[in-house]
Amino acid sequence: MKARVAFLCTGNSARSQMAEGWLRHLAGDRFDVFSAGTHPVGLNPGSVEAMAEVGIDISAQRSKHVSELMTQPFDHVITVCDRAKESCPRWPGPTHLLHWSFDDPAAAVDSDEARRQLFRRVRNEILGRIKGFLAQETASLASGPR
């Protein structure tokens, strides 16, 4: 059975969407992956573009409200922004809560090129955290049940 992971953000437009795409791409055979927001605003085109640059298509993902996931069990709930962490609801059943704080590229008001650079930086930072998460999960599985 696959472990279930939910990434939460405020708008579910950029950071949580990219995290969902990365984990599904790198370990979708081991994890069922979801994302949602406390105040969803739609998938940001900058997220789609940044992920497409590394060969990952997230264009079919959609922005969802966290209430769509609240009745489902998750092994891990990972907040990727401070505001989502502050308003993260309580999850049913045993859930491992993690917090990873990333800058919000969707809030950037710089030039188009500066925005693209911010999306790329955050995309790459998320990749680093996902790789660390996968290494920790692999080590945890090797050491036996939690």
Interatomic CA distance for residues 82 and 27, integer angstroms: 26
Which of 88, 97, 127, 134 is flagged as catalytic?
Answer: 88
Residue 79 designated active-site: no
* 13 close to 108: Cβ distance less than 8 angstroms: no
Residue 99 designated active-site: no
Residue 53 designated active-site: no
Which of 81, 106, 126, 130 is flagged as catalytic?
Answer: 81
Which of 5, 6, 8, 9 is flagged as catalytic?
Answer: 9
Closest to 65 measured CA to CA, from 130, 2, 6 = 6
Residue the block writes with tokens 């409200």? 65
Residues taking part in catalysis: 9, 81, 88
